[in-house]
């Protein structure tokens, strides 16, 4: 019995090791290019206005890259869904007292987007005052 379990685990491990790189090679990154006209935050990090690439490397992982394609930060996201896919890619920012925090990413022709949590400091302030959402148009070209 021990021998059978050992062989099964070994076969499973070898299968994962053999097919893991092939699965990774088939992964398609979704890239959104945006010129963000104001300082903004993603998670606990702040970024100046400028050109950025937002790369969805999986449904729950988002990379923020600069214009030279250097990774600046990686954050976990939640999926959010809409009934009608947007006609163009869009970024939604929560704006309160002049500070902007990225909250949602929507790619053209996809009904499932990515949602980021607001920083805790924004949430505490948000309970006292209401903010508003700003939308920035984006491009899906690399």
pLDDT in tens, 22-77: 444 445 788 999 999 999 999 889 999 999 999 998 889 999 999 999 999 999 99
Where on the phi/psi map is residue 43: left (φ > 0), alpha (ψ -120 to 50), or beta? left
Burial class (CB within 10 angstroms; exposed 0-12, middle 13-18, buried 19+) of 42 = buried
Count CB-CB contacts under 10 A for residue 5. Answer: 9
Query: How far is Cα 135 from Cα 56, in angstroms, rounded to an integer?
Result: 19
Which comes out higher in pLDDT, residue 122 or 54? Answer: 54
DSSP secondary-structure letter at 101? E
Structure tokens at 114: 């990515």
Which comes out higher in pLDDT, residue 80 or 7? Answer: 80
Across the chain, mean pLDDT equals: 78
pLDDT of residue 126: 44
Query: How far is Cα 82 from Cα 42, in angstroms, rounded to an integer?
Result: 22
Count CB-CB contacts under 10 A for residue 59. Answer: 12
pLDDT > 70? residue 97: yes
Tell me which H or E stretch contains 9: helix 2-26
Quickly tell me which residue has 């902007």 as its tokens.
Answer: 100
pLDDT > 50? residue 125: no
DSSP secondary-structure letter at 90? E
Query: How far is Cα 97 from Cα 132, in angstroms, rounded to an integer?
Result: 10
Confidence of residue 121 (pLDDT cuts 50, 70, 90): low
């Amino acid at each position: 019995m021990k021998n059978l379990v050992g062989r099964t685990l070994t076969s499973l491990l070898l299968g994962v090791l053999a097919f893991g790189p092939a699965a990774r090679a088939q992964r398609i990154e979704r890239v959104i290019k945006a010129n963000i006209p104001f300082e903004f935050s993603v998670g606990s990090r702040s970024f100046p206005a400028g050109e950025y690439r937002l790369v969805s490397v999986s449904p729950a992982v988002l990379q923020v890259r600069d214009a030279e394609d250097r990774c600046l930060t990686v954050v976990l996201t939640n999926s959010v869904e809409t009934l009608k896919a947007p006609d163009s890619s869009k970024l939604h920012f929560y704006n309160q007292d002049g500070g902007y925090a990225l909250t949602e990413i929507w790619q053209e022709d996809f009904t499932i987007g990515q949602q980021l949590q607001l920083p805790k400091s924004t949430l505490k302030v948000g309970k006292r005052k209401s903010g508003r959402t700003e939308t920035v148009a984006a491009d899906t070209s690399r």
